[in-house]
Amino acid sequence: MTAIGFVGLGAMGGRIAGRLLACGNVVYGTNRTRSRAGALVDGGLIWCDSPREVAEQADVVFSMVTDTPALAAITRGPGGILAGLRPGSVYVDMSTVSPDASRELADRVQEHGALMLDAPVSGSVPAAEGGSVAIMVGGDPAAFARVEPLLRELGQTVTHVGANGKALIMKLAVNISLAVQMIAFSEGVLLAERGGIDPELAIDVLNSSAVGSPMLRTRGPLLLDRPAEAWFDVNLMHKDLGLTLEQGRSLHVPLPSTAVASELLSTARALGYGAQDIVAVFDVLAQLAVREDVAA
């Protein structure tokens, strides 16, 4: 049986590690805050005291952390994943981080006799719990073939898109539409509401129209009924759009809608919505509308 390691047991990583456990795998894991892993340990996860210890125990190591600095923190140094990687093992990072930093890390992994895949996911916390996320994978085809059965336990679709870093570029491309659609949808609902239309009715009509999408049909109702735990918070989306704009500059691609979305999310953070789900952009627009009313 393949020994699996998992570093980063937060909102998404914890659900994915739980899914691996539920499918009958032996999973070694660690997290910066051990208390967040309590339910997983109760469910059979074997706790390790460092990312290095996880890598030393595992044939396939997964990680999922918030950003590029966090990835550096879990991979480098005497207690990091790189120090514990076995020759011949595969390291699968599911974080959304800088494609350039990920490619550099893949080179370091290869120096240790292992192979790395970037495998970011598209989907919410419930999708991770239910194994219905979409997984994009970049890296060595043979390494992908080796871990594909595990990835298919985690995702509804699993797509190898090319060399290291390519999956991250694809994930950033996906998140442009996620952010821009959410903002446009919120604008439409707010406009309808201010025009005297019941917002619940407006959400139903928009989702039944040509602009309805699977994402909006799932997230639209959250404008009026927020989840207790953010499915994808404003801070993370703002970070992802920053990475997207960096790639746009590097590849000489204009990204005007991304820039506008990033600016609105920056405003959302300044107003205290950073830890809330991205549907909070509706509240931000409503606040801005109130201020416009006052100014008028």
- Please name the amino acid found at residue 96: T
Q: Which two tokens stand for residue 84?
A: 């514990």
How far from chain centre, in Å, is Cα 241? 12
Radius of gyration of the chain (CA): 20
Rounded alpha-carbon distances, angstroms, from residue 216 to 191, 252, 260: 17, 30, 19
Residues 145, 67, 220, 193, Cα dihedral to 10° = -160
Catalytic residue among 166, 171, 219, 239: 171
Distance CA 144, CA 123 (A): 21
Rounded alpha-carbon distances, angstroms, from residue 217 to 28, 98, 154: 36, 30, 22
Catalytic: 239?
no
Distance CA 54, CA 130 (A): 25
Provide the annotated active-site residues.
171
